Amino acid sequence: MKKKRPSLKDIAEVLNVSTTTVSFVLNGKGKEKKISDELIAKVEAYLKEINYKPNLVARSLRTGSTRILVFMVEDISNHFFSKVGRLIEDISYKNDYRVLFCSTENDLKRTQDLIQVFHERQVDGFIIVPPPGIQEDIENLIESEMPVILFDRKIPEIDCDYVIINNFEGAKNSSEHLIDSGFKNIAFITIDLDQVQMHDREAGYIAAMNEAGLTPNILKLPYNTSTVGSSRETMKEFINNSKDLDAIFFATNYLSQSGLKGIHQIDTQLIDKLGIVSFDDSGFFEMYSPTISAFAQPVEDMAENLMRIMFQKLKNKGNAKPEQLVLEGTLVKRESSKAKVV
């Protein structure tokens, strides 16, 4: 009744060969180890016959490698992260690595927990979008020789590998695009989060406004996942109170989505009077009416670089000095930022 899964030893016994032989054949090292063709054939036939599945836990214990990578982002259902994730998965797959996805929700406790879980389970590397406060845990990870690459945002205090984009330029370009479309009272709606990428986006917006001789108008929402509704109310108030407001630049795609909902709630027609650009693209933006312009990050480029660095670290066993990449994104112009006909 209890059909325990056959082990290498069981197979060796049945075939009257040693476990060594079976192991070599299993790992395709038969030729290399000069095992006779007929024996190889015999073993392979049997492995296939019983549909043998090696116990990878045992293999990992022995080899010290799980061939598992972890991709830990703020929210894997976010268009940007899932897109990069998918690309990373493909590249990993071709190199015989699997990748595990998880969402930190930008929550420190949760992230620490995830890092711990995967570290204990001996994964081979981490790609992490670091939430605030995670610095020490990241340092510990690196300390213990674990390959770690930061993504989307860096931690200035740590000198480690990262792949990010030029947030300042992206925000500046986006703002300038709205200005070029003739908008004058452009607001910037962002999150009150002490992280570099947010500061840079804000700075980019302010720079563009100043250069154009326009007055910045900024709303900083408290960062708190649990009160999405209340922050939308704040947005609505802000929009209502901003005199002559004619355009909004949102600092993230989820802010835009919440904002669009708020705009719709204020007045069904309001969206047609406002210029909108969002930082970070989203599948939603193409579908919305009007379609929403967005500053898109170079996902393929990011994924490729991330994996190039990762494989390098996996080989070099953690010497080599950190690679720190700052890539450029592209502004995708859609209906929402077109000049309004007066």
> Phi, psi (5° rounding) for residue 194?
-80, 65
Neighbours of 241 (CB within 10 A): 9
| Distances from the Cα of 145 to the Cα of 22, 121, 126, 230, angstroms | 33, 15, 11, 43
Residues that bind DNA (CB under 7 A): 4-5, 7-9, 16-21, 23-24, 26-27, 33-36, 39, 54-55, 58-59, 61-64
Q: Which amino acid is at 169?
A: E
- Give min distance, CB of 51 to DNA, in A: 13
Distance in Å from the first CA to the final CA of the chain: 80
- Give min distance, CB of 96 to DNA, in A: 13
Q: Which is nearer to DNA, 23 or 82 (CB)?
A: 23
Footprint of a second copy on residues 80-119 (CB under 8 A)? 82, 98, 100-102, 116-117, 119
Partner from DNA, a second copy, none binding residue 166, C-beta < 5-8 Å depending on class = none
- Give min distance, CB of 69 to a second copy, in A: 13
Q: Which helix (H) or strand (E) holds 55?
A: none
Size of site (CB under 8 A) for a second copy: 42
**Interface with a second copy includes 2 (CB under 8 A)?**
yes
Partner from DNA, a second copy, none binding residue 36, C-beta < 5-8 Å depending on class = DNA
| Distances from the Cα of 29 to the Cα of 42, 57, 224, 285, angstroms | 15, 20, 54, 51
Q: Distance between CA 279 and CA 256 in Å, rounded?
A: 8
Footprint of a second copy on residues 122-151 (CB under 8 A)? 122, 140, 143-145
Query: Would you state the torsion angle of the CA atoms of residues 147, 151, 153, 157, taken in this order, to the nearest 10 degrees?
Result: 10
| Distances from the Cα of 301 to the Cα of 71, 163, 327, angstroms | 16, 10, 8
**Interface with a second copy includes 41 (CB under 8 A)?**
no
Partner from DNA, a second copy, none binding residue 19, C-beta < 5-8 Å depending on class = DNA
Q: Mask 45-84, x = binds a second copy (CB under 8 A)? A: ------x-xxxxxx-xx----x---------xx----x--
- Give min distance, CB of 125 to DNA, in A: 18
Q: Which is nearer to a second copy, 29 or 121 (CB)?
A: 121
Footprint of a second copy on residues 247-286 (CB under 8 A)? 257-258, 260-261, 264, 268, 271, 284, 286
Q: Which is nearer to a second copy, 3 or 243 (CB)?
A: 3
Partner from DNA, a second copy, none binding residue 21, C-beta < 5-8 Å depending on class = DNA
Partner from a second copy, DNA, none binding residue 144, C-beta < 5-8 Å depending on class = a second copy
Q: Distance between CA 334 and CA 332 in Å, rounded?
A: 6
Q: Distance between CA 178 and CA 338 in Å, rounded?
A: 8
> Phi, psi (5° rounding) for residue 192?
-85, 80
Neighbours of 313 (CB within 10 A): 22
Identify whether the C-beta of residue 69 lies closer than 8 Å to the C-beta of residue 126.
yes
Residues that bind a second copy (CB under 8 A): 2-3, 5, 51, 53-58, 60-61, 66, 76-77, 82, 98, 100-102, 116-117, 119-122, 140, 143-145, 257-258, 260-261, 264, 268, 271, 284, 286-289
